[in-house]
Amino acid sequence: MSDKLYIIPNPPTPNKAVEFNPDICIGCNLCVNVCPTDVMMPNPQKGKQPIVVYPEECWYCAGCVEECPYPGAITMLHPTQQRISVNWKRKETGKYFRLGMKNPPPPNTRPPSG
């Protein structure tokens, strides 16, 4: 390990609220502009993904995700304390699942009504 270490405050809780995929995000900042609580700021480097500055002010409406023109560029992440609570059991097999598990089952691809 040769990375330089800094004096830095603890990561906030929750850590992220949203996560960017830098391979898809083009840094258009539409998500930044629409966020009701201004959780993110534009990256100083143009074309790069925004920076999540105030994750504890996020209320998880995912308006940023809906606003994003590039699917997969931004993902909303429930705080771990919420993800760990979302559990379900397959009726036929009795198998347990939870949101965020290591080897998740295949996605249910049925879109919502409408």
Give me the amino acid identity at 25.
C
- Could you tell me the end-to-end alpha-carbon distance of the chain, in angstroms, rounded to an integer? 52
Is residue 82 close enough to count as binding other proteins by CB under 8 A?
yes
What six digits make up the tokens of 31?
A: 């998500």
Assess contact for 84 and 101: CB atoms under 8 A.
no
CB of 106 to other proteins, least distance (A): 6
Using CB under 8 A as the binding rule, the residues of this chain from 87 to 106 that contact other proteins are 87-92, 97, 99-101, 104-106
Binding track, positions 21-60, relative to other proteins; x by CB under 8 A = -x----------xxxxxx--xxxx----x-xxxxxxxxxx
Burial group, residue 114, by CB count within 10 angstroms (0-12, 13-18, 19+): exposed
Other beta carbons less than 10 A from residue 14's beta carbon: 18
**Shortest spacing between CB 109 and other proteins, in angstroms:** 7
**Cis peptide bond prior to 112, omega within 30° of 0:** no
Total binding residues toward other proteins, as defined by CB under 8 A = 68
- Footprint on this chain of other proteins (rule: CB under 8 A): 3-4, 6, 8, 11-16, 18-20, 22, 33-38, 41-44, 49, 51-63, 65-67, 76, 78-79, 81-82, 85-92, 97, 99-101, 104-110, 112-114
